[in-house]
């Protein structure tokens, strides 16, 4: 099973992806997480990506696509994946299709998580992320049981440097510029399902699991 999660920053793609991967026994691939690992590891890719990420701009397609291609070939991805944060534009959507076609595969469906702007801002400015397992928490909506410690793995929580109001604005602008073409792309292939992501995370999760069972 290969599922894509689309939606603005703050729609809950990360939260849904972590839970879905666990429930459906699929690999969770987050291009944002992979890039952040490269930045903190000081790799060449990380050095090239850092300035784009700090501004909230997209990292160039070829860098992200090569990174994803390597990740998709790993053994744990053979059983399928939940893709979170890719594709961000049509060029990436086409690159993904081409990548999968080489293995006679294709995505099963894409989910578009729609969220309203006040909800997005509130979620992102309070978001806390586990350094170790990538699980998301929220200072108010979903505080960890122990302050700044992950409930799932005991890792340390941190606030992403791009989760500040100015960078969030840029990320939303970048997202808005690309989203309609991306939605049309998957709609034309009859692979798109739209869900209201302002709703409670468990309701959204159950709906995606229902879609996966039908796919």
Q: Does 64 bind ligand AMP (CB under 6 A)?
A: yes
94, 160, 189, 194: the catalytic one is 160
Local structure of residue 108 (DSSP, 8 states): S
CA 37 from centre of chain: 14
Residue whose CB is less far from ligand AMP, 44 or 206:
44
Alpha carbon distance 62, 66 (integer Å): 6
CB of 163 to ligand AMP, least distance (A): 9
Q: Does 35 bind ligand AMP (CB under 6 A)?
A: yes
Alpha carbon distance 20, 111 (integer Å): 12
Residue whose CB is less far from ligand AMP, 166 or 215:
166
Q: Does 6 bind ligand AMP (CB under 6 A)?
A: no
Token pair in block for residue 151: 């409930």
Closest of 7, 11, 22, 1 to residue 152, by C-alpha: 22
Closest of 2, 180, 32, 210 to residue 106, by C-alpha: 2
Interface residue with ligand AMP, options 8, 12, 32, 134 (CB under 6 A): 32
Binding interface with ligand AMP (CB under 6 A): 9, 31-32, 35, 52-53, 56-59, 64, 85-86, 88, 92, 162, 171
């Amino acid at each position: 099973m290969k599922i894509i999660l689309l939606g603005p920053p703050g729609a809950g793609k990360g939260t849904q992806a972590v839970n879905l991967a666990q429930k459906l026994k699929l690999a969770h691939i987050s291009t944002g997480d992979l890039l952040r690992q490269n930045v903190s590891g000081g790799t060449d890719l990380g050095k090239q990506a850092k300035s784009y990420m700090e501004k909230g701009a997209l990292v160039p397609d070829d860098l992200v696509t090569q990174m994803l291609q390597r990740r998709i070939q790993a053994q744990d991805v053979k059983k399928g994946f939940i893709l979170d944060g890719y594709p961000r534009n049509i060029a990436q959507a086409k690159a993904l299709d081409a990548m999968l076609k080489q293995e006679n595969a294709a995505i099963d469906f894409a989910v578009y998580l729609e969220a309203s702007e006040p909800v997005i801002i509130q979620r992102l400015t309070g978001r806390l992320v586990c350094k170790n397992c990538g699980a998301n928490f929220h200072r108010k909506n979903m505080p960890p049981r122990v302050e700044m410690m992950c409930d799932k793995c005991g890792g340390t929580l941190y606030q992403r440097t791009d989760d500040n109001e100015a960078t969030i604005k840029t990320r939303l602008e970048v997202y808005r510029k690309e989203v309609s073409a991306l939605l049309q792309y998957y709609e034309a292939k009859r692979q798109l399902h739209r869900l209201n992501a302002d709703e409670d995370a468990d309701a959204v999760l159950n709906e995606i699991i229902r879609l996966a069972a039908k796919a």
